[in-house]
Structure 1
Amino acid sequence: MSHHHHDNNHHHHHHESNTQLSFEDKMVTLTEHWKNHNLDHAVSYREWAEKAKENNMPAISAILEQVADMTLEINKKFEQAASLIKKG
């Protein structure tokens, strides 16, 4: 199964040609991107968990719900990283 993103601006970064982001700014931008990307996945996992439940797969549904929860926990780490970078 292929991996598709429905965000038309995905991976398109527009910067003025003379503007260079600092390493710290790049890291904050990346952590925010990864967090948003994970959120998209968590939503998808929950949708498929519901479909699995509707199709008599309660164990699969429960696993996908756990995966969604774990994904959101990962996002907390990205938030921590971004916060530490911003504190400098």
Structure 2
Amino acid sequence: MSHDHPHPSTADKTEKPLSTREKLARMIHHWIHHTEDHVQSYRQWAQRAQEEGLPSVARALERVADGSLELNRILEEAQKELDEMGNA
């Protein structure tokens, strides 16, 4: 199963290049939302694994989902710092 990974760093050729901070802000936003999509998928497959009598696989997928949410919390901290720097 594959899925698209559109990247927000691709700028229109007529626009001025983004600064590193602007790129970071866009990428972090993208990564957070992309990870949320993956978390939903992990939890759905964990439920399916549980229904198929695969509790250890279900637990592993739930752990991956939880770990992904922790990664998002770290990314949100970075995003908040970028936001605060932009408003300073």
TM-score (norm 2): 0.82
Deviation at 1:80? 0.5
Please give the residue correspondences for 1:17-32 in structure 2 after superposition, counting only pairs within 5 Å: 17-32=14-29
Aligned length: 84
Structure 2 unmatched ranges of 5 or more:
none
The match for 2:47 is: 50
Structure 1 gap ranges (5+):
none
C-alpha contact (below 8 Å) 2:11/2:17 kept by paired residues: no
CA distance in 2, matches of 1:58, 1:67: 14
CA RMSD of aligned residues (A): 1.9
3-state SS in 2 of match to 1:21? coil
% same residue: 33
Q: Which amino acid counterpart does residue 65 of structure 1 have in structure 2?
A: E
Runs of 4+ displaced beyond 3 Å:
12-16
Residues 1:86 and 2:86 aligned together: no
Using the TM superposition, give the Cα deviation of residue 18 of structure 1 relative to its aligned residue in structure 2, in angstroms: 3.1
